[in-house]
A and B are shown apart, each in its own frame.
Chain A
Amino acid sequence: MLLEVEKVSKSFGGLQALNNVSFTVEAGKTIGLIGPNGSGKSTLFNVITGTIPTSSGTIRFEGKNITKLSAPRVSRRGIGRTFQTVRPFMHMSVLDNVKVACLYGHSSIQWQHIAERRAREILELVNLKDQARIPAADLNVMSRKWLEMARALATEPKLLLLDEFMAGLNPAEVLESVEFVKRLKDIGITVIVVEHIMKAIMSCSDRVIVLNAGQKIAEGLPADIVRDPVVIRAYLGPDYAET
Chain B
Amino acid sequence: MLSELLRSLIQNWRLPVLVALAYFLFELPELFTGWPWYYEEINDKLTLAITLFTIATLASSWNILAGYAGQINLGHAAFFGIGSVVTRELWLTKDYPFNEAFFYGGGAAALAALIVGAPALRLKGIYFAIGTLALAEALRLTIGSMYPGVSRLPGPELRAYELTSRYELSLKVLVATVFVSYFLSRSKLGLGMKAIREDEAAARSIGINVFLHTLFAFVLSAFLAGLAGGAFAYYHYSYNQIYTFGPNWTFDALLVTFIGGPGTLAGPLIGSTFFVLVRDYLAGTSELVDTHLILFGVIFILVVLILPGGLVDLSTRISRWFLRRTRKVFR
8 Å CB contacts to A: which residues of B189-243? Answer: 191-192, 194-195, 197-199, 201-210
**Pair A89/B207 contact, Cβ less than 8 Å:** no
Fill in one digit per residue for B172-195: 1 if any A CB lies within 8 Å of its CB, else 0: 000000000000001110011011
**Pair A155/B202 contact, Cβ less than 8 Å:** no
**Pair A104/B207 contact, Cβ less than 8 Å:** yes
Which B residues lie within 8 Å of A7 (CB)? none
> Given A92-B194, A92-B195, A99-B191, A105 and B206 touching (CB < 8 A)?
yes
> Given A89-B195, A91-B263, A92-B198, A72 and B188 touching (CB < 8 A)?
no
Which A residues lie within 8 Å of B194 (CB)? 89, 91-92, 96, 100
> Given A101-B206, A105-B207, A91 and B201 touching (CB < 8 A)?
no
Which B residues lie within 8 Å of A103 (CB)? 188, 191-192
**Nearest-Cβ distance from residue A229 to partner chain B, whole angstroms:** 37
**Nearest-Cβ distance from residue A83 to partner chain B, whole angstroms:** 7
Fill in one digit per residue for A47-89: 1 if any B CB lies within 8 Å of its CB, else 0: 0010100000000000000000011110110001101000111
**Pair A75/B198 contact, Cβ less than 8 Å:** no
Interface size on B, residues (CB 8 A): 21
Name the residue of chain A whose CB is nearest to the CB of B189.
A103
> Given A89-B199, A91-B263, A96 and B191 touching (CB < 8 A)?
yes
Compute how far the CA of A80 lies from the CA of B202 in the bound complex, rounded to whole angstroms. Answer: 11
**Pair B192/A104 contact, Cβ less than 8 Å:** yes
**Nearest-Cβ distance from residue A109 to partner chain B, whole angstroms:** 9
**Pair B195/A71 contact, Cβ less than 8 Å:** no
Name the residue of chain B whose CB is nearest to the CB of A154.
B206
**Pair A81/B205 contact, Cβ less than 8 Å:** yes
> Given A89-B199, A91-B263, A72 and B207 touching (CB < 8 A)?
yes
Partner of B198, one of A73, A89, A152, A155: A89
**Nearest-Cβ distance from residue B326 to partner chain A, whole angstroms:** 16
Say whether A216 faces chain B, with CB atoms less than 8 Å apart.
Answer: no
> Given A103-B191, A103-B192, A51 and B205 touching (CB < 8 A)?
yes
Compute how far the CA of A108 lies from the CA of B201 in the bound complex, rounded to whole angstroms. Answer: 18
Partner of B204, one of A51, A110, A152, A154: A51
**Nearest-Cβ distance from residue A149 to partner chain B, whole angstroms:** 13
Say whether A106 faces chain B, with CB atoms less than 8 Å apart.
Answer: yes
**Pair A71/B198 contact, Cβ less than 8 Å:** no
Which A residues lie within 8 Å of B186 (CB)? 112
**Pair B207/A76 contact, Cβ less than 8 Å:** yes
> Given A87-B199, A91-B198, A49 and B205 touching (CB < 8 A)?
yes
Say whether A217 faces chain B, with CB atoms less than 8 Å apart.
Answer: no
**Pair A100/B205 contact, Cβ less than 8 Å:** no
Say whether A120 faces chain B, with CB atoms less than 8 Å apart.
Answer: no
Name the residue of chain B whose CB is nearest to the CB of A96.
B191
> Given A100-B191, A103-B192, A90 and B207 touching (CB < 8 A)?
no
**Pair A75/B204 contact, Cβ less than 8 Å:** yes
Compute how far the CA of A103 lies from the CA of B207 in the bound complex, rounded to whole angstroms. Answer: 9
Which A residues lie within 8 Å of B201 (CB)? 51, 71, 83, 87
Name the residue of chain A whose CB is nearest to the CB of B188.
A103
Which B residues lie within 8 Å of A110 (CB)? 188
Which A residues lie within 8 Å of B263 (CB)? 91
**Nearest-Cβ distance from residue A238 to partner chain B, whole angstroms:** 38
Say whether A158 faces chain B, with CB atoms less than 8 Å apart.
Answer: no
**Pair B204/A100 contact, Cβ less than 8 Å:** no
Compute how far the CA of A51 lies from the CA of B206 in the bound complex, rounded to whole angstroms. Answer: 11
Which B residues lie within 8 Å of A92 (CB)? 191, 194-195, 198
**Nearest-Cβ distance from residue A156 to partner chain B, whole angstroms:** 10
Compute how far the CA of A128 lies from the CA of B259 in the bound complex, rounded to whole angstroms. Answer: 34
Which A residues lie within 8 Å of B197 (CB)? 91
**Pair B204/A70 contact, Cβ less than 8 Å:** yes
**Pair A71/B205 contact, Cβ less than 8 Å:** yes
Which A residues lie within 8 Å of B208 (CB)? 72, 100, 104
Which B residues lie within 8 Å of A106 (CB)? 207
Which B residues lie within 8 Å of A101 (CB)? 206-207
**Pair B206/A151 contact, Cβ less than 8 Å:** yes
Which B residues lie within 8 Å of A73 (CB)? 207
**Pair B202/A75 contact, Cβ less than 8 Å:** no
Which B residues lie within 8 Å of A81 (CB)? 205
**Nearest-Cβ distance from residue B39 to partner chain A, whole angstroms:** 49
Compute how far the CA of A88 lies from the CA of B242 in the bound complex, rounded to whole angstroms. Answer: 44
Compute how far the CA of A61 lies from the CA of B205 in the bound complex, rounded to whole angstroms. Answer: 16
> Given A89-B194, A112-B188, A100 and B206 touching (CB < 8 A)?
yes
Given contacts A73-B207, A151-B206, 9 further A-B contacts (CB under 8 A): A72-B207, A75-B206, A87-B199, A91-B194, A91-B263, A96-B191, A100-B206, A112-B187, A152-B206
Residues of B within 8 A of A (CB): 186-188, 191-192, 194-195, 197-199, 201-210, 263
> 3 closest A-B pairs (Cβ-Cβ)?
A104-B207, A89-B198, A71-B204
A-B contacts, 10 listed (Cβ < 8 Å):
A51-B201, A72-B209, A76-B207, A83-B201, A83-B202, A99-B191, A100-B192, A103-B191, A112-B187, A152-B206
Residues of A within 8 A of B (CB): 49, 51, 70-73, 75-76, 80-81, 83, 87-92, 96, 99-101, 103-106, 108, 110, 112, 151-152, 154-155
